[in-house]
Amino acid sequence: MPKIEFRGKSYNSEFEMPPEERRAYNREKERAAERNKTGTKSLADIVEMSPEVRVIYERALGNVEEKLASSRPTKELPKTEDIYRQSAPDHMKHLPSDESIYRPSQRLIDPAQPTIEPEAAFGVNRFILSILWALALVLAAFIITQFLL
């Protein structure tokens, strides 16, 4: 980190300065920032930019009055048919666009009737009953072997 030279003394950081010196240093920094802010040139003034890049740069800074297409109301946006007519080759401009001839297809499956029936709860109950029967048989076998042997 560079050393700070202020009023003939050097400091490693702002926090090493006495409080009065630090306040004066911060005021001086703020004044310098204000002077730089009002006297600075735009990047577009310094660097040569194409008109497209300049528009993008100024839009990023918020200096452009023109609204983007995405921020305009949908009534003002061009229709798909118009865009198609502008972008289509000359020999295809008379043909209808995909959107103008699009019709939704019929549903293959009626959504009111499910094709897969839900599994009955009896299957789960059967599994639990099978486990209980197996435990009962193991318990019976254990008791028989204890008393017979």
Statement to judge: residues 36 and 57 lie in one domain: no
Which residues are bridge partners to 11 per DSSP? 4
**13 assigned to some structural domain:** yes
Model confidence, pTM: 0.27
pLDDT of residue 99: 64
3-state secondary structure of 90: helix
Domain assignment present for residue 81? The answer is yes
pLDDT tens digits along 62-90: 655 555 555 667 777 777 777 777 787 88
Buried b (16+ CB within 10 A) or exposed e, 39-76: eeeeeeeeeeeeeeebeebbeeeeeeeeeeeeeeeeee
If asked whether residues 55 and 25 sit together in one domain, one would say no
Domain match, 55 and 90 both: yes
Residue 72 belongs to a domain: yes
Inside any domain, residue 117 = no
Residue 80 lies in domain:
51-96
Domain membership flag for residue 33? yes
Structurally, the chain folds into a number of domains equal to: 2
Interval 27-63: pLDDT, tens: 888 877 776 665 566 676 677 778 788 778 777 766 5
